[in-house]
Structures are given as structure tokens and as C-alpha cells.
Amino acid sequence: MTAASGDLPAADEYPADAHGERGAPRLAGRAATPALLVVLFASFMDLLDVTIVTVAAPDVAGDLHASPAQLQWMLAAYTLALGSGLITGGRVGDDYGRRRVFLGSLACFAIASAACALAPTAAVLIAVRVLQGLAGGFMVPQVFGIIRSSFAPAAAAKAFGAYGAVQGLASVAGPLLGGALVDADLWELGWRTIFWINIPVALVALAVGSRVLAESRAPARTRRDVLGAVLAAVGVLLVLLPLVQGRDWGWPAWGWALLAAGVAVLALFLGYERRLARRGGEPVLDPGLLSVRPFTAGLAASVLFFGGLASFFLTLSIYLQSGTGRSAWDAGLVILPYAIGSMLTSGAGVALAARAGRALLVTGSLILAAAQGLLWWLVRDGDAPGYRHLAAVMLLGGLGLGLAAPILVNVVLAGVPGRRAGAAGGVLSTVNQIGGAVGVAVLGTVFFDALATGTAAPGAAPTGAGDEAAAFGHALAQVMPWQVATYLLAAAAMLALPRTAVPHQA
């Protein structure tokens, strides 16, 4: 489409397609390219902000005098907000128009990114990271909806393949771009450039998207479960709050009371969802899914798998920079083989999933456990390992990640009844993000508790002394057995999943 937005007919002026969707005629060939580029650029920007902050974390801590707990919140707040917005965002787009919600969310994401770049304190940065995550949570579902409703079937299949490639590219670009921007210190902005870079990308995507994206929406409006979404978010937050802040608070009794209150709110959430389903409503979490064994096993596997992954990059980045004295760019180079390994095996994993999905998941998790065990061996005595040894371990871990991460949702969905597959996929995508936030909270606290016994704050300039490297190595070594355990438990949960995966779905 090349017409200006004012020339595009409303979605209701087009006939519904075979699925009841209302929207513009399906795009294919060259006509699909501009629209695809817009949604892929936006997706790249959102995915980049999950990984790019980890490399810059020590510089952020040093500049804003952030505490270890605040560093954890800078990552956990974004992923928790992103996960909270995914299901609700998808339904809002279905009701009010995917193009409209996509462009509005993209604009909000850009504004929140600018606010992150201008943040004067760690507390302000955490607050605007929440807004940035919510904007991303509303934006990402529209990408799938726009591709599904606006592209011809063959073009849609290629578009989803391109989206997978963008995910891999973002995982590679995040650590490298973050390290390059921090080290370059453009205009003496330091770490703030990792957020400023979003602005030109968003402006171009908004300008082009307003012209080439056609509107589409579902044939009938859904009844959104706002209360259920709020209860789930509040429950998870109450659980995470004492886990992250407990060390700073001194582990008081009222902190544990907050944790108990979070569990109670989550129980209330489940009860409310059951009552809503009995009344014929549309709950955020279909209670019937909890009786499907592959689905509950998939939830457990997702929390464990992605929880270990998110916490690992935060603790590793701090160890590499504040512990071994590497620059942000050098830290990015250490992490790079992890992303390369993931890209090497992800294609094979997707291709073989229809025949050996469960075996690939278990194998990938066991490889990740082995990689974390080897990393523990390298840092356990406090010596700073060289690049070659670290790169080899990172490459091994990446190979395992590529086998498991891209196919986990589709293997789980193979055990879910077809009429519930869409709801299950949305919940699993949300749980992946929540798992990351939980991992940062729990394993990040293990790291910082161990670090507190032997060295200064993570933002402090490294002294180069062997005792400092040993302290950071000791802290990382305390986390690694827990990392190994998360992947071993994830592998055990994956044994309850179906043997093969369903074909790739949005």
C-alpha cells in the first residue's frame, strides 16, 4: 500500500475474509515490503531493549548511583510490564484496529524511550521503563495481527520467518550495540544513547507506517478481563517486591508478609478467573487450560527456562565489567558467541520440531545446564578467565538456547486442544516475560547477596586488584549452581510435553 492514511478506507468498508477478519485486501510481493519493514523495525527496537540494557547496567549504576535492587528493577520492571500488556494489548488491537493501536503504542514507546534517556535518577528510570514495557506489550501483538490480516498466506509465512530472523538479529545486536554506544560516549551521553537510538527508528516507522499500514480488526468486540489482568500483575509484583528489595530492607517480617499477600492475590486471581469463565466471560487465563497436563508442564518449563536466561545476562555483564575490568564493548564481544550459537541451531530446531520437538527442548536445556556448569568451573577460584575460554562456554550455551527457545511455545501448544490454542499461546508468551522478571529477582538477589560480602557497588570503577575479581567471581559462582538447577528442572518439566510441535503459529 502506498496511499496516505487519509485515503485508506476504514476496516469496516472491506468485506470480511474467510476467518471473519475485516481489513484491507491481502498484500503480496513488492506491495508487502514497506508494511513488513515497518512492523519488523518496531519489533527489532522492542526486542533490542530487552538485551541492550544488560551490557550498560554497570554504567547506569555508576552514573545514577543505583543500588543492586534498582538494577534488578530496571530489567524486571520492563519485562513484567511487557508481559502484562501482551494479552490485553492483543485484544485492544482486535477491537479498535491493529494499525491504530500499533502506531499509538509505537509513539508511546518512543516517548518512554526519550524519558529513559533523560532520567535524572534510578527511580525515575525504573518508572519510565514500566511505561516503555507497557507500550511494547501493546505494540508486539499488533505485529502478529497485522501480518496475519494484511498479508496473503504465502507472504505471511515469509513474514513470520523474517520476524524469527529479526529476533536472532536483535539478540546479536543488543550486546554489541549496547557496548559500542556506551564505549563511544557520543556527545558525552554515555549509556543514555542506548535509549536515544530508539527515537529516529520510531519516527521513521511512524512516518512510513501511517502511509502503508492498512487497518484491520476482529469481526466482533471482545469483553476484556481488565480486573483479571490487574489482579495477576499486582500478585506478581507483590511476590517480586520483597524478593528484590529484601536485602536492602534487611529481610523484615513485613517483607515476607508482602510475599504471602502476593500469593493470596494470585489465588484470588485464579478464583476470579474460574467464576468469570462459568459466567461465560473471556478470562485472561482460561481455567480449563490448567487441567491440560502439557500446558501446566509448559508453564513450569517456561518460568524456569526464561527465568534462568534473563538473570544470567545481568549477572554476567556486571561480572565482566566491574569484576574483570572489561569495557562494555569487550563484554558485548564475550556475549556475542552466545547469540551466534543460538542463530546456528535455531533454524535446525524449527525444521526438526515437527519430528522431535520434545527431544530438542530437553537436549537444549541440558546443554545450557552443562554450559553454566562449565562457567562455574572457570570462575570458581576467583581468577578472571580469558576470552577464548569464555567464548567457548558462551557458544555452547547459545547452541542449547537455539534448540529450545524458538520451539518451546509450539511444542506446548501441540498438547492443547485446538479451540484453546490461541488463548494458551498468549498466556505462554506472557509467562515467558514474567519468568524473566522472576529470574532477575531471585537469582539477581543471590548474586548481589554474595557480592555484598566482598566488594563495592557494581557501578564502582574496578581497581584491578585480584581480591575484587575474586569477589565478583565468587558471586557469579554462587549463581551458577542455581542456573544449572533451573535448566535441569526445566528439562524434567519438558518430559511431560508432547513429542512433536505444531506448525509455526503467530
Print the SS3 string covering 138-149: HHHHHHHHHHHH
Within-domain flag for 17: no
- Cell 557480592 appears where? 451
- pLDDT tens digit sequence for 68-112: 888 888 888 888 888 878 777 777 887 788 888 889 999 999 999
The CA distance from 425 to 431, in Å, is 10
The CA distance from 316 to 385, in Å, is 13
CATH number, residue 361: 1.20.1250.20
The CA distance from 243 to 378, in Å, is 28
Shared domain for 187 and 248, answered yes or no, is no
Within-domain flag for 342: yes
Q: What is the largest CA-CA distance in the chain?
A: 70
Count of domains for the chain: 3
Within-domain flag for 74: yes
Of residues 387 and 50, the one with the higher pLDDT is: 387
Q: φ and ψ at 341, to 5 degrees? A: -60, -40
Shared domain for 344 and 449, answered yes or no, is yes
- Residue 29: what pLDDT? 52
Within-domain flag for 1: no
Residue 144: C-alpha distances to residues 69, 94, 154, 474 (Å)? 34, 11, 15, 43
- Residue 86: what pLDDT? 79
State whether the Cα torsion 174-175-177-181 is positive or negative.
positive
Of residues 50 and 287, the one with the higher pLDDT is: 287
Mean pLDDT of 203-212: 86
Within-domain flag for 8: no
State whether the Cα torsion 336-337-343-346 is positive or negative.
negative
Mean pLDDT of 58-76: 86
What's the pLDDT band for 117 if we cut at 50, 70, 90?
A: very high
Q: Check residue 151 and report its DSSP letter.
A: B
- Residue 164: what pLDDT? 63
Among 95-109, 119-133, 207-221, 346-360, the least confident range: 207-221
- Residue 419: what pLDDT? 67
Judged by DSSP in three states, 23 sits in strand
- Residue 483: what pLDDT? 93
∠ Cα 161 78 281 (to 5°): 75
Residue 47 has a CB neighbour count (10 Å cut-off) of: 21
Judged by DSSP in three states, 22 sits in strand
Within-domain flag for 4: no
Q: Check residue 18 and report its DSSP letter.
A: T
Mean pLDDT of the chain: 80
Among 10-14, 172-176, 413-417, 426-430, the least confident range: 10-14
Q: φ and ψ at 151, to 5 degrees? A: -110, 145
**Grid cell for residue 169:** 538479529
Shared domain for 67 and 151, answered yes or no, is yes
State whether the Cα torsion 289-293-299-300 is positive or negative.
positive
Mean pLDDT of 196-215: 86
Mean pLDDT of 180-206: 86
Buried b or exposed e, range 95-118, using 16+ CB within 10 angstroms: bebbbbbbbbbbbbbbbbbbbbbe
The CA distance from 384 to 321, in Å, is 11
> What pTM value is reported for the model?
0.80
Within-domain flag for 495: yes
pLDDT greater than 60 at residue 460: no
As beta bridge partners, residue 22 has 16, 217
The CA distance from 233 to 325, in Å, is 38
- 29-33, 78-82, 401-405, 492-496: range with highest mean pLDDT: 492-496
What's the pLDDT band for 454 if we cut at 50, 70, 90?
A: low
What's the pLDDT band for 356 if we cut at 50, 70, 90?
A: confident
- Which amino acid, 34? P
pLDDT greater than 90 at residue 118: yes
Shared domain for 60 and 160, answered yes or no, is yes
- Which amino acid, 431? V
State whether the Cα torsion 224-432-150-111 is positive or negative.
positive
Question: Where would I find the H helices in 380-420?
Answer: 387-404, 408-413
**Residue that is last in its domain, among 176, 191, 224:** 224
The CA distance from 242 to 445, in Å, is 10
Within-domain flag for 2: no
The CA distance from 483 to 473, in Å, is 15
pLDDT greater than 50 at residue 6: no
As beta bridge partners, residue 216 has 23
Radius of gyration over alpha carbons of the chain, in Å? 22
Q: Are 196 and 117 in contact (CB under 8 A)?
A: yes
What's the pLDDT band for 481 if we cut at 50, 70, 90?
A: very high
Shared domain for 298 and 404, answered yes or no, is yes
∠ Cα 56 484 345 (to 5°): 70
- Residue 1: what pLDDT? 36
Mean pLDDT of 457-478: 67
pLDDT greater than 50 at residue 13: no
- pLDDT tens digit sequence for 157-188: 667 666 766 766 676 677 778 778 888 777 87
- Residue 393: what pLDDT? 94
**Closest C-alpha to 331, from 175, 450, 472, 444:** 175
**Grid cell for residue 271:** 478464583
Of residues 263 and 311, the one with the higher pLDDT is: 263
Q: Are 151 and 159 in contact (CB under 8 A)?
A: yes
Judged by DSSP in three states, 241 sits in helix
Shared domain for 79 and 154, answered yes or no, is yes
The CA distance from 2 to 29, in Å, is 13
The CA distance from 384 to 411, in Å, is 39
As beta bridge partners, residue 16 has 22
**Residue that is last in its domain, among 259, 281, 303:** 281
Of residues 338 and 159, the one with the higher pLDDT is: 338
Mean pLDDT of 402-415: 82
Percent of the chain's residues with pLDDT above 90: 19
Shared domain for 347 and 437, answered yes or no, is yes
Mean pLDDT of 342-363: 83
Mean pLDDT of 309-334: 86
Q: Are 24 and 216 in contact (CB under 8 A)?
A: yes
Angle, helix 466-494 to helix 293-318, in steps of 10 degrees? 170
Shared domain for 434 and 419, answered yes or no, is yes
- pLDDT tens digit sequence for 124-156: 999 999 999 889 888 888 887 777 777 776 666
Shared domain for 209 and 237, answered yes or no, is no
Shared domain for 198 and 262, answered yes or no, is no
pLDDT greater than 60 at residue 121: yes
- Residue 396: what pLDDT? 95
**Residue that is last in its domain, among 188, 205, 224:** 224
pLDDT greater than 60 at residue 21: no
- Residue 168: what pLDDT? 62
Shared domain for 302 and 239, answered yes or no, is no
Of residues 30 and 467, the one with the higher pLDDT is: 467
The CA distance from 20 to 169, in Å, is 34
pLDDT greater than 70 at residue 41: yes
Mean pLDDT of 208-219: 77
Indicate the burial class of 495 (C-beta count within 10 angstroms; 0-12, 13-18, 19 or more). Answer: exposed
pLDDT greater than 50 at residue 7: no
Judged by DSSP in three states, 216 sits in strand
Shared domain for 67 and 141, answered yes or no, is yes
Mean pLDDT of 19-26: 50
Residue 164, domain extent: 29-224
pLDDT greater than 60 at residue 428: yes
Judged by DSSP in three states, 16 sits in strand
pLDDT greater than 90 at residue 261: yes
Percent of the chain's residues with pLDDT above 70: 84
Q: Check residue 30 and report its DSSP letter.
A: G
The CA distance from 416 to 293, in Å, is 9
Mean pLDDT of 36-46: 81
